[in-house]
Each structure stands twice: as structure tokens, then as C-alpha cells.
Amino acid sequence: MNYTLTTLAAKAAENGISADSFWDYKASNILTPAVTLLLVWGALTMYRNTFWGPRLKMAFKSLTARFGLLLAAIFFVIAFMDSISWISESSKEEQAKYSVALSKPRTLLDRSFSLFTGVPEYKFKEKASSAPMAKTEFRESDIIDPETGEKKRMKAGLTYTHIMGTNSGGIDTCYAVLKGVRPAVLIGTLPLLITLPIALIFGVCAGYFGGKFDDLVVFIYTTLSSIPSLLLLIAIVYSMGKDMTAVCVALGVTSWVGLCRLVRGETMKLRELEYIQAAKCLGVPIYKTILRHILPNLTHIILITCILTFTALVLSESILAYLGIGLAGSWGSMIANAKSEIAQDPVIWWNLVFSSCALFMLVLSVNIVGDALRDALDPKHSGE
Amino acid sequence: MIAYILRRLVLGIPTIIGTLLLLFVIFYQISDPDQMARSAQGEKATPESILNWKQKRGYSIEESELKILAEEALGKEANEKELLAWKLKNGDMPSYYNTRKEGLQKLTETTFYTFTRKMVTFDFGLSDYDSEAIWVKLRNGVIPSLFITAPIFFCGLFLSVFLSMLVAMFRGTYIDKIVVFGCITGMSIVYFLYIIGLQFVMAKTLKWFPISGWSDNHMVYFLILPWIIGTLATVWESIRFYRTIMIQEINSDYIRTARAKGLGDLPILYKHLLRNAMIPILTRVIMALPYLVTGSLLLESFFGIPGLGRMTVEAINFNDLPTLSAVAYLSSIIFILANIVSDISYTFVDPRVRLK
């Protein structure tokens, strides 16, 4: 059986939810750079700020924190590369002749991967799982140039080594692990887009205005948090139809309570401070007081909670994947699939080990960054 | 005190109603009864059996009334097939408000009312999956669940409180840094890897423990490995949590005074530090209690332990909504009660706290 990208996608769709149904590649091409620019702009503004700048510098003074930042940056760059894709124009006429895979948009990651190894990524296919360091030899006619659609001229048989082996579908594990970065980053960030506005608006308004609105917000979040979050999550995903939007909405709805509680408490404290009272007396409009005096004082709480929520989201996706509602191609579903492989004889360990290693490194690096920021920005947690 | 407890209990009622409404909307409003009937009966589902299933579970109007309504709408000469199709299409019980009825029945002849009445009277009925009484399933599941989660929780609590006090003693030194880094590393590992990895190494390769299974007479034999795994997987986060609290407390004046008096390290730790750190510890313990009852989803399904967690996973896999809503409803009630208990317990730990 010939495993091309289409069969890879079909295989992935069997195991979980396809990420492509949510983000068409064109939307992804526009949105990803926009979001990246926004994030970089935010980080730069904060770094240039006279108050936060020195604190950020202090946070990343230690070697571990810098290592974590570097590792996290690498993961984010990989996710970025995997989000930019296009169909090669010249290959379109030839696609029917050679392979369906050529008509698929190939991401920057695919292209650089095939450039790096010399073999197009959809050719990393075996008939079944093979151990790490297994070699594949390609015949001359096997290699098609993805750009021109021509068969490449190879003098001797080109060999490709599956450094991490292949999975039961014959797909190179190294490639699958790299492709898993994007779902992980998406599942960590997209629910935050729901969490942040809800938590901030509810938290700040409840804390600032108090009274009836405060009672309402407290009622909503006690009700939400009194249903066990995993059950709520599963219920929402099941009732909305298992697609990526449902997973993100469910994760967003269940994760805003913690941040909202924190923001509400902090706003109540800030409300009584002299400068807020002064602003009130001087007749500054409420929205201006909130934007200029309250929100900047919540920055550290928001930042730290976001980073720590990211890791929690990525880890909880693996539990969802075990229950059959994870994202396609994510590390969580790789681990869930590897559960049965580990019981076989001979033991197929590489899928489990490499996917969970990648997940571990992403979560660890983000955790280190979050911890460093927390120590530097939040006076309560400085261990001095 | 009693007035306070009563008021809190009364204030818990809107929360419970809110929870019920939320559960109803999620479980019964968004999911389709026809779909549920089809998945419950599998391949052999016929229109008659689907209608029968819906009527039995209160999703559809009763047969005697439905027959009259269908004949009114289609006329006397309609054949059986048309009648059945009409009944399936238009026979659904209204969700919140029944326009066909008079007086109070407008509200009571609805799915929401039936659902609420069932939940409030704790009459959960039969499971959609194996038609067993849900109460019996719950009762059988609670004990294995408690046996697996309670030792993990209390062992982890003891370990983490003890270790965090030690770390707070050595704050700022290399010991502290190593422990904190170790905690972050331990927290970053997926729960799965602990389970699959340790099950593979300790049970399959070294053969110290059975791989999975359950027997009422030899519980401990099957439970040791889940206990080890559960403790290892969850202890890191709580060590870091308690370390923060201990460090906040250890910098306070009374510790310095105790030290100035010439008190030794150990008495300071568990006479002064531990007692003052009791409020956050107690909150965490009491808030974790509901989760002890609901069991561990992953551990139970990996080790084949017939607890509530595994029951929940099965209910999810077979779209068994009555069981799921019963579990969710009961655990929310326990959660609300735990919330009240944790507030009351502050008065025992800290005499300065007065409840009003």
C-alpha cells in the first residue's frame, strides 16, 4: 500500500480530529504571521517598558531560564513553519501524473525537511513499523522533485535513515513528532483566546463595580467549577460534535475560572488604593481608569497565568486524546496509540518514547519560563 | 455558627439549580434523542423501537396522547407508516414549556422538569448502556475508587508537606534549587508516561506487581503499583505549592522570634510553621475530597479497576447520558458541600477567623 500524505491525513482523521477542518491553509497563512507579530510586538513593548524591562531581564538572568526560553522559542518557530503552506504552482500540471501528494499544500516545515534530508517527506513510508535507525533505499524513479514534478536523477541509490523509526502506519516517527508541534501549540494558545476576554471582562468588572454584577459572576463561576472540569470538558466536546472548534471552546470554557477569580480579587484590592480613588475624584471615566490604572497592574498575573495555563492545556489534551477526542497528529494521540504497541512482543517503544519526550520538552521549557517570570514579577513567590 | 451553616446551605441551592440547568443544556439539549436511541440499540434499531425507547425515557409524549395527536394531524385514513413517521418527527416532549397543556402542567410536562425531578429525588433510573440501576453501579464503584485515590492523596500530602518544610528550611540554597527544578521536571511529564512506563518496567519486565486486574479479596496486591504511580505523578505539583506557602510563613516575625528564643529547628517546623500553614493545607485537602470519590479516570482504566473513573470512561464511550449526568450531579453536590466544610473548618484551625 502506498502511503502518501493523503493516506496520512486519512489515518490521522481516524485517530482524532483533523486540524485542517478548522484552519484552512490560507487562513492559517494570514493569521499565523499576524498573531506572531502581535506577540512579538507585545513582548518588545514590555521589554522596553521602564518598569517591566529590568524585571524581565532579571527573570532571564539564570542559565536555566535562558535554556527554557531558547527551547520554547525553537518549538514556536517549528509551529510557525508548520503553519505557513502553499501549493507549488509548477507542480499542478504534473500532479495527476505522479502523485496526489503534490496537489496538497506543503508547509514550510515539510519543504525544509525534504530539503534537509534530500527526500520529499511523503516518501518516508514503510509497509509497517520499523525500529530506529532503519534504512530505506530509494530507487531512481522513487524520487520526484516536489517543485517541478520531475523524476530526480540519482546516481546511486539514495538511502534515508529513519532515526526514530516508523510507526505502525509506516510513517517516519521523526516527521510525525515534528508535525505534532503545531497541534500542541494550537491547543495551548487557542483556548486562551476564549479564556482571556471572558476572565478579564468578568473579573475586572466584578471586582471594580461589585454589587449585583459581582454576585452574578461569582454565581456563574461557582456553578461552572462545581462540575468536575473533565466531565464538563467531555460533555461539551461530545455535544458540540467532535471537531477542533469544540475542543478549543470546551477547554476555553473550563479554564477561565481560575484567572477570573485571581483578577477579581486583585481588582478589589486595587480599587481601594489611593491612585484609583484619586482618578475617580478627578472625574476620569471608568473605562479609562480600568484601561490605564487597573489593567497594567494586572499584567503580571495575566502573563503568568497564561503561561501556566498553556502547559495545563497541552497536558490535558493528552487525556482527551486517550478518550478519543484529541487532535489528529498530536503527541497525545501518538501516545494513546502507542499504548497498545508497548504490549507487543517485540516491544515497539520508539513512538511512545519520542512523542512523550517532545511533549515533555515543550511543557518543561514553558514551565521553566513561567517559573522564572513568576519569581521575578510576583513578589509573593520570590523564594527569598 | 449554625445560622452561618444554614445560610451557606440555602445559598448553595441556586448553585445546584444552576448546575442542573447547565447539565441539562449540555446533555439533553444539544444531543439528539433519536441519535441516542440509535446508538443505544445499535444495528437492530427500527422506527418502532426508537419511538418506544424515547417514550420509555420521557423524551417523547406518551403513546395514548401521541396517537390522538397524530390522527388529528393526518386524518383517519393515514396508514401506519405515515403515523409512525409523524410521531417520530413531532412527538418530542417540549424542553421547558408545554403549550398543549393547561395550568401547572405547562411546566411539569417537560423534559427539564422530569430531569430535575429525577435528579433532586436522586432517582437516577437505569443506565442506557447495560440497563443496570445507576445507584447500584455508583455504590459498587465508590469503594474501589476510594481505595485507589485515598492512599495516593494522603501519602502525597504527607510527603509533600514534609518535603516542602525541609525545602523551606534550606531556601535559597542548592538543595532548594534542585528540588524546585525536580518538581518542574516531574510536573512536565504526562500522566500517561508515568502509567505506561512504570507499568512496563515494574510489572511487565521486572514482574514485581501484576500488570492489571482486580479481586475483592486481594485488593492491596493489585493496588500497590497504582498507588506508587499515582503518588509519583501528582506529588511534584503539591510540593511546589506547599513550598511557596511555607516560604511565605517562614519569613514571618513569629518564626524569627522563636529562633531568637533559641528554639531548635524541629520544634519551629512542626509546632510553629506547620500550624500556621494549616489554612491553605486544609483548603486544599477538603477541596480534593470530591475528587477522591469520583476516582481516577486514567489509573482505573489502565489497571482494570472497577471504580467510578472507569465507569465514567465507559459511559463516555457508549454515550450513556443518564450515568454521566448522575456522576456529574453527585460530584457537584459533594463539591458544594466541601466548599462549605472548608470555610467552617477555618474556625477550628485559626481562632482569629470568625464566620458571619
Nearest CA-CA distance, residue B27 and chain A, Å: 7
Strands (E), A289-332: none
A356 touches chain B (CB under 8 A): yes
Phi, psi of B206 (to 5 degrees): -85, -20
Q: What is the pLDDT of residues B16-58, one digit of tens each?
A: 888 888 888 877 766 667 767 776 677 677 777 777 777 777 6
- Find chain B residues with C-beta within 8 A of A227's C-beta: 19, 22-23, 328, 331-332, 335
Buried/exposed code over A253-278 (b: 16+ C-beta within 10 A; e: otherwise):
bbbbbbbbbbbbebbeebbeeeebee
Q: How many residues does chain B have?
A: 356
Q: What is the pLDDT of residues A205-222, one digit of tens each?
A: 998 988 889 889 988 888
Q: Which cell numbers hold the place of B245?
A: 506557602
Which one is predicted more confidently, B151 or B93?
Answer: B151
Name the A residues in 236-265 with CB < 8 Å from any B CB.
Answer: 236, 238-240
Domains of chain B, earliest start first: 2-92 (no CATH), 134-349 (1.10.3720.10)
The identity of residue B83, as a single letter, is L
Q: What is the average pLDDT across B231-256?
A: 88
Strands (E), chain A: 85-86, 106-107, 134-138, 158-162
Helices (H) and strands (E) in chain B, counts: 18, 0
Residue A139 has a pLDDT of 58
Q: Chain A residue with minimal CA distance to B195?
A: A339
What is the C-alpha end-to-end distance of chain A, expressed in Å?
62
Q: What is the pLDDT of residues B82-134, one digit of tens each?
A: 777 776 766 667 677 766 666 667 677 777 787 788 888 888 877 777 778 88
Q: Which of A14-18, A21-25, A222-226, B294-298 has the lowest mean pLDDT?
A: A14-18
- Find chain A residues with C-beta within 8 A of B298's C-beta: 319, 322
Task: Please name every residue paired with A151 in a beta bridge, in sequence order, or none if there are none.
Answer: A144
* Cis, bond preceding A346 (omega within 30 deg of 0): yes
Q: What is the pLDDT of residues A210-257, one digit of tens each?
A: 888 988 998 888 888 877 777 788 778 777 766 777 888 888 888 888
Candidate from A219, A342, A364 with C-beta closest to B15: A219
ipTM entry: 0.80
Buried/exposed code over B95-127 (b: 16+ C-beta within 10 A; e: otherwise):
eeebeeeeeeeeeebbbbbbbbebbeeeebebb
Radius of gyration of chain A (CA): 24
Chain-chain contact of B14 with A219 (C-beta, under 8 angstroms):
yes
Chain-chain contact of B316 with A238 (C-beta, under 8 angstroms):
yes
The identity of residue A40, as a single letter, is V
Candidate from B189, B247, B332 with C-beta closest to A226: B332
Phi, psi of A312 (to 5 degrees): -65, -40
Interface mutation target, options B32, B184, B195, B319, chain A, most CBs of A under 10 Å? B184
Q: What is the average pLDDT across B267-295?
A: 84
H/E stretch holding B13:
helix B2-24
Candidate from A224, A343, A383 with C-beta closest to B172: A383
Query: Largest alpha-carbon pair distance within chain B?
Result: 100
SS3 A134: strand
Parallel, antiparallel, or unpaired: how do β-strands A134-138 and A85-86 relate?
unpaired
User: Does the pLDDT at position A1 exceed 60?
Assistant: no
Q: What is the pLDDT of residues A265-289, one digit of tens each?
A: 889 888 888 888 899 899 899 889 8
Which one is predicted more confidently, A28 or A71?
Answer: A71
Candidate from A347, A356, A380 with C-beta closest to B190: A356
Nearest CA-CA distance, residue B217 and chain A, Å: 27
B201 touches chain A (CB under 8 A): no
Name the A residues in 105-134 with CB < 8 Å from any B CB.
Answer: none
Closest to A231 in 3D by CA, of B137, B313, B99, B211:
B313
Chain-chain contact of B171 with A381 (C-beta, under 8 angstroms):
no
Which one is predicted more confidently, A5 or B137?
Answer: B137
Rounded to whole angstroms, how far apart are CA atoms B190 and A311? 11
Residue B153 has a pLDDT of 93
Name the A residues in 156-215 with CB < 8 Å from any B CB.
Answer: none
